[in-house]
């Protein structure tokens, strides 16, 4: 029976820590090798490779494979000659014969993805040796249209106005985020993104329900891969306020009716008694005139009598 040496716990811990650091170093180196390139639709872009052919050699000493998503060969060279090229990249791609950069012109959304450059060195006495194998993440960007903000009044009162605000944009890539601000305070939109596929342009729409008591300024922003487009709109509260007419109370109606009745009674009484009073004043001068006439007619008779008496 043999006895195995017992490893001290401290030594075992150091071994595990060393192994963990080694794994982390390998992972970090692997991630460091993967590069990222961004370009907009329609532009020309170069995807760098991991090897540059020295001046003492030429492309005839190498095999170079550019492939996408590890399944789609973009183009391939062997001994200085092109041996394969994908039909979708026809007349749109070329490779630099020295630094092996893959150039893509008239970039399309479908070009978005992970690319891999594999370089093998050809030696006459040995099998091909892999010189480098590196991935490049290519992100294609398509600009979204300027956001369009519309507002529709759903409820309107004297105190507040309820509006449904809609912000929309279309034709962009990749999938965006929609954000906004109401009087410089952040708001959350109820957003939805629509696309035919993962490599198709997106249309985005956001809705917001506002209960306004005053005029407000609203901003809608479409953010996509370090780019953004925004629009600001001033929303005014509509002054739609109808004051209801309050019917007069019962007491007011009763008092008004009494006043009107008294007024008509007064008019009626004046119409009946005023003419009599006026006629009584008109008749007195006529009687005095008649009496004056009578007195005048009596005076001559008395004068005649006196004259007769005097003559006698």
**Domain-located, residue 166:** yes
Q: What are the phi and psi torsion angles at 266 (to 5°)? A: -65, -40
Do 61 and 112 fall into the same domain?
Answer: yes
- 32 pLDDT above the threshold of 70: no
Model confidence over 210-238: pLDDT tens digits? 998 889 999 999 999 999 999 999 998 87
Do 131 and 153 fall into the same domain?
Answer: no
Tell me 196's DSSP state.
Answer: S
Do 90 and 175 fall into the same domain?
Answer: no
* Domain-ending residue, one of 235, 262, 285: 235
The closest alpha carbon to 49, from 134, 150, 120, belongs to 134
State which residues form the domain around 110: 34-141
| pTM (whole model) above 0.85 | no
- 55 pLDDT above the threshold of 80: yes
**Domain-located, residue 285:** no
**Domain-located, residue 49:** yes
User: What's the number of domains the chain is made of?
Assistant: 2
- 112 pLDDT above the threshold of 70: yes
* Domain-ending residue, one of 119, 141, 163: 141
Mean pLDDT of the chain: 80
Say which residues have a Cβ less than 8 Å from residue 136's Cβ, sequence separation at least 6: 34, 35, 36, 37, 47, 48, 114, 115, 116, 117
Q: Where are the beta strands (DSSP E) in 105-263?
A: 113-121, 129-141, 148-156, 161-172, 177-182, 185-187, 190-194, 202-212, 216-224, 227-235
Do 91 and 116 fall into the same domain?
Answer: yes
Q: In whole angstroms, what separates CA 83 from the centre of its chain?
A: 52
Report, in this order, helix, strand and coil percent for the chain, each rounded to 5: 30, 40, 30
Do 137 and 66 fall into the same domain?
Answer: yes
Do 133 and 44 fall into the same domain?
Answer: yes
The larger pLDDT score, comparing residue 250 to residue 45, is at 45
């Amino acid at each position: 029976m043999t006895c195995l040496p017992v490893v001290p716990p401290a030594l075992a811990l150091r071994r595990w820590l060393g192994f963990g650091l080694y794994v982390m170093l390998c992972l970090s180196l692997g991630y460091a090798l993967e590069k990222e390139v961004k370009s907009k639709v329609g532009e020309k872009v170069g995807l760098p490779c991991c090897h540059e052919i020295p001046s003492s050699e030429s492309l005839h000493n190498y095999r170079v494979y550019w492939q996408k998503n590890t399944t789609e060969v973009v183009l391939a060279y062997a001994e200085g000659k092109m041996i394969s090229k994908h039909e979708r990249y026809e007349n749109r791609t070329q490779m630099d014969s020295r630094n092996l950069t893959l150039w893509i012109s008239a970039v399309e959304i479908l070009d978005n993805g992970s690319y891999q450059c594999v370089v093998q060195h050809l030696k006459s006495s040995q099998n091909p040796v892999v010189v480098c194998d590196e991935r490049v993440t290519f992100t294609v960007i398509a600009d979204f249209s300027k956001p369009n903000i519309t507002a529709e009044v759903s409820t309107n009162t004297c105190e507040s106005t309820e509006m449904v605000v809609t912000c929309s944009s279309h034709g962009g890539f990749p999938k965006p985020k929609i954000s906004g601000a109401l009087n410089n305070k952040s708001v959350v939109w109820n957003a939805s993104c629509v696309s035919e596929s993962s490599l198709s342009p997106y249309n985005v729409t956001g809705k917001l329900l506002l209960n306004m008591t005053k005029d407000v300024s609203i901003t809608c922003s479409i953010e996509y891969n370090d780019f953004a487009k925004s629009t600001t709109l001033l929303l005014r509260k509509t002054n739609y306020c109808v004051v209801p007419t309050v019917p007069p109370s019962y007491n007011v109606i009763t008092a008004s009716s009494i006043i009107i009745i008294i007024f008509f009674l007064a008019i009626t009484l004046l119409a009946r008694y005023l003419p009599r009073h006026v006629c009584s004043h008109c008749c007195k001068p006529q009687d005095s005139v008649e009496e004056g006439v009578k007195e005048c007619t009596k005076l001559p008779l008395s004068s005649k009598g006196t004259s007769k008496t005097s003559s006698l």
